[in-house]
Structures are given as structure tokens and as C-alpha cells.
Amino acid sequence: MMGIGTMLGAAALSAVADEQLFGFVRGAETLPQGQSELYQFVTLRSGKAEGAYYGLDFETELEHGFTDRFQASVSLENRYIYNRGVSGDRDALDDTDSYRFGGVSASGKYRLLSPFKDPIGLALRLEGGYVQHDEVDGLPEKEFYIAPELDFQKNFRDDTVITELWLGTEWAWGKQPAEQYPRELAFQGGLGVSYRFASNWFIGAESNIRAEYPLFDLNQFEHYVIYAGPSLHYSARRWWATLTCAHQVWGEGTGEPLDGRTYAEETNWQIRLKIGFNF
């Protein structure tokens, strides 16, 4: 009985904290009414077709549960970009070593079905934001975007195995002069599975995909990319941390060789550390 009680207590803690078990995949949980969380994300993007490239994204987000079903957040993002010799035809960039202000965003998430009470969890999420410098080379732009998505979650074995799936789109305007086209449509999503192998510890795997179409034209394909890799999550009473290491397992881009990689806007690796504090 003690083991069952401990297990249920851990599951309840997870539900209250709205812990994020994955670096890039989102589930259907929401914060309880009146509870807030402060997140710090650090994402390293590295590896191009040639030269040395490192991009660091620093995102700080504050999230609040207005009801048990609805939460909203605001975030601020900054970037550091370093590249030398990234001068090939497929990913030609100017040498850079600088910090840039990234942008601001806000999101709202409404949970329709609970992963703990219903056969499957389901939430609707909407994000919008403004980007002042692009993430590839820190070039200036005046991008506004809106990104609706569906978040699914299914828990198994008394909430020791967690599966999450999200599917969404993104409409963006004002991407010039950082990019050739003024507007862009993207389809994106991700899938993750995580297992609690010890008290407060989860280990898992996740993947995410993104496909982009300039000018909102589905006949004008630009590139698509798939990343996948392991994730590790630890939770304490008032904070949690997640580390994900994702590798580009497949990609294809217009004007690039058909070698299973795309580098115009993507990298070989995306490594993300997320830390959350609940209060």
C-alpha cells in the first residue's frame, strides 16, 4: 500500500506542477487555478554543412493558471550566434559573433480533456509573437506570427509512462530582410514517450518535425526537417529540469543536395535545457 500511495502522490505532484517532460514536445496538462510557473529555456543549435556554427537561444517565460482548464503565458527571448566559415551554397552566412534581442511572445492554452480523468488528454493552444532578429544569423526582421495547435496526452501504468503528441501550424509575416520571402506557412508537430524509472526521474525519447512553405503557397516548398533524440527529466517539490539532445535525422531543402540533410535554416543538433519553478 505504501508503494501505491507513493506512486499516486508522485503523479499528483506532476499534475500540480505541470512539469514538462520533454524539451520540444508539449502535452495536454494545464496549471491549476492560481498557480504560476517561471521557466528558463536554453537551446544550443550547432552544426552546419561546413565551418563552425553555434546558436544559443535564451527564453524566459512566466505562466499562470487562471482556471484549472485555462493557462496563459508571456515570454522574452534573446540570442547569441557565432559562426565562422559557414559559406557554402546551401547555408551561406556572414561571419558573426554577437548577441541579439530575439523577440516576445504570448500564449493561451485551454484543456478540453484531462489525461488523468479522461481516456485521452486534449488541449487547444494558441501562440502569437513578434521576432526582431531571426534565429539563424541574427539578421533584422519585423516578424509577427500566430501558431495554433492541438496537444494530446495519454498516460499508462498509473502515470509512469507518459506519451505526448502535438500538431500545429504557424503563419508568419514580415520575415524580410532576414529571409527572401515576406511571409511563410509552416506545419509542425512532435511526439514523445517518457518513463519514470525512479522516484522523481523520467527518461524518454522525442521527435519533432517542421515543414515550411513561403508565401502561404503549398506548391512552393522550402524545406522540412525531422529531429529526434533522448530526454531526461528530474522533478523536486518546487522545481524541475529537463534536458533533451535532438539530432537532425532527416531533412530536405529546395536547392540543396538530396543527402538527407537541410542546412539553410537548420542545424545538425538541437540541445535544450529547461528549468521550471512553481509558486
3-state secondary structure of 260: coil
Per-residue confidence (pLDDT) for residue 232, from 0 to 100:
98
Confidence of residue 18 (pLDDT cuts 50, 70, 90): low
DSSP 40-97: EEEEEEE--SSSEEEEEEEEEEEEEESSSSEEEEEEEEEEEEEEES--STTT----EE
Mean pLDDT of 119-135: 96
Confidence of residue 7 (pLDDT cuts 50, 70, 90): very low
Per-residue confidence (pLDDT) for residue 12, from 0 to 100:
42
Retrieve residue 63's grid coordinates: 505562466
* Alpha-carbon distances of 275 from 22, 131, 240, rounded to whole Å: 11, 23, 6
- d(CA 71, CA 41) in angstroms, rounded, equals 19
Q: Are 227 and 208 in contact (CB under 8 A)?
A: yes
Per-residue confidence (pLDDT) for residue 178, from 0 to 100:
85
Mean pLDDT of 242-251: 98
2 has a pLDDT exceeding 50 = no
253: Cβ–Cβ under 8 A, 6 or more apart, which residues? 90, 222, 223, 224, 262, 263, 264, 265, 266
4 has a pLDDT exceeding 60 = no
6 has a pLDDT exceeding 50 = no
- d(CA 79, CA 184) in angstroms, rounded, equals 22
- d(CA 255, CA 202) in angstroms, rounded, equals 41
pLDDT tens string 73-118: 999 999 999 999 998 888 888 899 999 999 999 999 999 999 999 9
Confidence of residue 60 (pLDDT cuts 50, 70, 90): very high
Supply the Cα-derived Rg of the chain in whole angstroms.
19
Which amino acid, residue 235? Answer: S
pLDDT tens string 31-45: 999 999 999 999 999
- d(CA 258, CA 42) in angstroms, rounded, equals 31
- d(CA 154, CA 165) in angstroms, rounded, equals 9
155 has a pLDDT exceeding 80 = yes
Mean pLDDT of 144-156: 97
Question: Please, what are the domains in the chain?
Answer: 2-278 (2.40.160.40)
Mean pLDDT of 217-233: 97
Q: Is the pTM of this model over 0.85?
A: yes
Q: Are 191 and 165 in contact (CB under 8 A)?
A: yes
CA angle 128, 130, 132 (to 5 degrees): 155
pLDDT tens string 164-210: 999 999 999 999 888 889 999 999 999 999 999 999 999 999 999 99
Retrieve residue 149's grid coordinates: 495547435
Q: Are 81 and 137 in contact (CB under 8 A)?
A: yes
